[in-house]
Amino acid sequence: MWSRIDRRALRVVGSVAFVAAVLAFVPLAELIAPLGRLPAWVWLAAVAAHLLSRLAAVEKWRLLLRAARTDLGWRRAAHCYYAGQFANTFLPSLVGGDVVRTGLAMRASASPGGTLLASVVDRYFDFVALGAVAAAGAWLAPPEVRGDALTALRWAVALLGTAAVAATFILLRLPPERLPRRLDALVRDARDAFQAIVRDPARGLGAFALAILLQLFLVAIAAVLSSLLGFEVPALVWILVFSVGKLAALAPISIGGIGVREA
C-alpha cells in the first residue's frame, strides 16, 4: 500500500517540478496576460474542435475493432474510450488510460482477444503517427532544432520497430497450450484477430491515415491559438515540438503527462 502511495506522490512531485521549471523560464504574468485577448468564441471553438478530434479517435479505434472481427457499437465504444481519457488524469503517463479503456471493452466484447489486439494496434498507430509527424517537422524545421530532434526520433523509431517485431513474434510463436486456460483462449482469440486484420488492410490503413490526420489537426489547433495569442512560432516548429511533447508525456514520471508535456 505504501509503495503505491509513494509512487503516486513521486508522480505528483514530478508534475509540480516540471511546471515549476517552465514558470522559472517564462514568468506567470507573461503567460496569463495574453489570455484576455481572446474572445470567448475562440475558446469555445477550440474546445469544440478538440472534442471533434476525440470523436474521430473513437471511430479510428472502431475501424480496427471491425478489422479484428469484433465491434462494441458506437455508444459502448465511446463509453470505454472516454473512461480511459478520464483515467489519464490520475494514472501514470498517457498509457494508463489505455488499460482502463481496453479492460472495459474486453468485458463488453464477444472477442476479448480481438479487442485487446485492436486496442494495442490502435495505440501503436498513434505512436507511429506521432513519430512520423515529428520526423516531418524535424526534417523541415530550422537547423537549430533539427539535429537533436532527429537523433531523438531515430531512437524512437528503433524502439517502436523493435517493439512491433517482438510483439508480433511472441503472439505468433507463443504456444497457447502451455498457458493457463483463460490466457490460452485469449492468445488464440488475439491470434485469429491478427490474421483478420492482415486480411483486411483497407481498414488498417484507414485507421493509420486517420491517426496522422488527427495529430496534424491537434497541431493546427495549437498553432492557431498560439498565433491568436500573439506568439510568433513557425508552423513547422509547432509540428515538431507538439509531437515530441506528446511522446515525452508517455514517461511514467508525472500525472497524465502534466508538466512533462508543457516543459
What the block records as the C-alpha cell of 111 is 472477442
3-class SS letters over the chain = CHHHHHHHHHHHHHHHHHHHHHHHHCCHHHHHHHHHHCCHHHHHHHHHHHHHHHHHHHHHHHHHHHHCCCCCCHHHHHHHHHHHHHHCCCCECCCHHHHHHHHHHHHHCCCHHHHHHHHHHHHHHHHHHHHHHHHHHHHHCCHHHHHHHHHHHHHHHHHHHHHHHHHHHHHHHCCHHHCCHHHHHHHHHHHHHHHHHHCCHHHHHHHHHHHHHHHHHHHHHHHHHHHHCCCCCCHHHHHHHHHHHHHHCCCCCCECCCCCCCC
Q: Does 4 have pLDDT greater than 60?
A: no
**Residue 162 neighbours by CB distance under 10 Å:** 10
Kindly state the greatest CA–CA separation across the chain.
64
Name the percent of the chain lying above pLDDT 90.
17
At residue 98, the pLDDT reads 83
Over residues 24-40, the mean pLDDT reads 75
At residue 252, the pLDDT reads 61
CB contact burial 8-29 (16+ within 10 A = b; e otherwise): eeebeebbeebbeeeeeeeeee
Which residues share a beta bridge with 92?
Answer: 255
At residue 2, the pLDDT reads 43
Higher pLDDT, 246 or 2: 246
At residue 56, the pLDDT reads 94
Banded pLDDT at 29 (limits 50, 70, 90): confident
The overall average pLDDT reported for the chain is 77
Spatial CA neighbour of 94 closest among 148, 68, 57, 63: 57
Residues 259, 123, 53, 247, CA torsion sign: positive
At residue 255, the pLDDT reads 62
Q: Does 23 have pLDDT greater than 90?
A: no
pLDDT in tens, 189-235: 777 877 888 888 899 899 999 999 998 898 888 888 888 887 777 77
Name the percent of the chain lying above pLDDT 70.
68
Compute the distance between CA of residue 95 and CA of residue 249 in angstroms, rounded to an integer: 9
The answer for residues whose C-beta is within 8 angstroms of residue 57's C-beta and 6 or more apart is 81, 214
User: Whats the size of the chain, residue-wise?
Assistant: 263
pLDDT in tens, 139-165: 776 666 666 666 666 666 666 667 667
pLDDT in tens, 49-105: 999 999 999 999 999 999 888 888 889 999 999 998 888 776 655 566 788 898 899
Q: Does 16 have pLDDT greater than 50?
A: yes
At residue 77, the pLDDT reads 92
Phi, then psi, of 92 in degrees rounded to 5? -65, 135
